[in-house]
Amino acid sequence: MARSSAPGLLIALAVLFAALLLALTVGRYPAGLGDLFSYIAAKLTGGTAQVPAAAVDVLMHIRGPRVLAAVLVGAALAVAGTAFQGLFRNPLVSPDLLGASSGAALGAVLGIYFSLGVLAIEACAFAGGLVAVGAVYLIGSAMRARDPILVLVLTGIVIGALLGSGVGLLKYIADPYNQLPAMTFWLLGSLAATTDSDLLPLFGPVALGILILAALRWRMNVMSLPDEEARALGLATGPLRIAIIAAATLITSASVAAAGIIGWVGLVVPHIARTLVGPDFGRLLPTAALLGGGFLLAIDTLARTATATEIPLGILTSVVGTPFFIWLLAGMSRTWS
């Protein structure tokens, strides 16, 4: 193959590593790399660390979980976006095409409306995403159309619009002083409230979904061909499509539940990854995962350090994503390489 995978993958790895170093060392409390290394060294050798307890607390319990969550969510959205762009044979597709985000949004907004606890709201969001995509898939396949992909996409758009008006209605009738700001904040996306206890419910589904997609990544090349061709090449496309959609929905819903609605990552990162290693999913998927993690971590670091108040993540990703995407369009209009 023309493009060797090594440089592209190394670049992605370097981006993630740089973002990690930056994210762990900057912030309001002056805990830096030195503190981190001496703490780790002390842990490894069994000695006592010459590090203030507050610094350890910041690194391990405040910055640490948030950094991990940003990497997980970024990798998750990028992998799901890569899978969906291949499956739907369209480079303009993002992982919430089939209503995962709008379903999760309605779930979360419902949870806030009924004044549930934080974990219950996240569970509602997760369930909302799964139910929405499940409904889209069932309705779409009930049509028995000749072009199942197109029907699925159109059903996703229609159901997404319906769910969106549900969100609008709840915002309209919500208490404008307590509930509405919480809804708005959640809909804009943020990792500010991430704690240790958020990591497990995020990590489980994301790891499972990414594992499934990674295992299927060689077959995804064939799945990105027209359906009849993929079947003639020996794939049972129906079950495979369900598996890919289920895995991508699992990780999208878990990400949205943990971090709110964060657009653009799942759309833009697969493109950057393709320019680095080409369209072969065997290499594309791991590269997109590393890049997505690094990208969202960098954005999240910007979100918490750029100004005195936190900037919502969804706003930052679109501010960064839009010009980047236009630049991408201008440069690659010849081909979606």
Residues that bind another protein (CB under 8 A): 1-2, 86, 89-91, 144, 146, 215-216, 218-219, 221-222, 224-226, 228-229, 231-236, 274, 278-280, 282, 335-337
As measured in angstroms, the least distance from the Cβ of 143 to another protein is 11
For 9, 64, 227, 274, 337, the CA distances from 278, given in Å and listed in that order, are: 11, 33, 22, 4, 6
Q: Cβ 289 to another protein, closest distance in Å? A: 17
User: What is the nearest approach in angstroms of another protein to the Cβ of residue 152?
Assistant: 16
Residue number with CB closer to another protein (99 or 270): 270
Whose Cβ is closer to another protein: residue 171's or residue 231's?
A: 231
Smallest gap from residue 231 Cβ to another protein (A): 6
Cβ at position 268, least distance to another protein in Å: 16
Name the residue nearer to another protein (CB basis): 28 or 89: 89
Rounded Cα distance between 33 and 81, Å, is 33
Nearer to another protein, 63 or 274 (CB): 274
Residues 6+ apart with CB under 8 A from 37: none
Report how far residue 190's alpha carbon sits from residue 34's, in angstroms, rounded to the nearest whole number: 28
Which is closer to another protein, CB of 228 or CB of 309? 228
- When the beta carbons of 124 and 267 are compared against another protein, the nearer one is 267
> Nearer Cβ to another protein, position 158 or 233?
233
48/335 with CB nearer another protein: 335
Query: Residue 296 corresponds to which tokens in the numbers above?
Result: 């969202």
> To the nearest whole angstrom, how small is the minimum distance from the Cβ of residue 228 to another protein?
5
Least Å distance, CB 295 to another protein, is 21
Taking the complex as a whole, how short is the minimal distance between the CB of residue 197 and another protein, in angstroms?
34
